[in-house]
Amino acid sequence: MKLTCNIDKRGRRTRLVGGILVDLCGAIVIVIALRAGWWEMLTGGIFLCVAGSFMIFEGARGWCALRAMGIRTPM
């Protein structure tokens, strides 16, 4: 898959803002999990942080993985 630009400014902005929000939620989940000792919840928080970071990457590059695979997204 090539990383050619396949989304417009609105899609880029949406992915950046969404990625930041998902990253923040992941960080909150990680902090709560560490304080409470819930190791299963820690896995979910790490997954959220990875997903949010990928969304930020997509927004920064102007590239959508789903569109690159041929799936049409509404934005």
Domain boundaries, the chain: 23-68
Q: In angstroms, rounded to a whole number, what is the distance separating the alpha carbons of residues 27 and 45? A: 7
Mean pLDDT score of the chain, rounded to an integer? 92
Q: What is the pTM of this model?
A: 0.88
- Give the DSSP per-residue string, 3-72: ----S-HHHHHHHHHHHHHHHHHHHHHHHHHHHHT-HHHHHHHHHHHHHHHHHHHHHHHT--HHHHTT--
pLDDT of residue 74: 83
The Cα angle at residue 66 between residues 57 and 13, in degrees rounded to 5? 45
How far from chain centre, in Å, is Cα 20? 8
pLDDT computed for residue 26 by the predictor:
98
The pLDDT assigned to 33 comes to 96
Give the pLDDT band of residue 23 (cuts 50, 70, 90).
very high
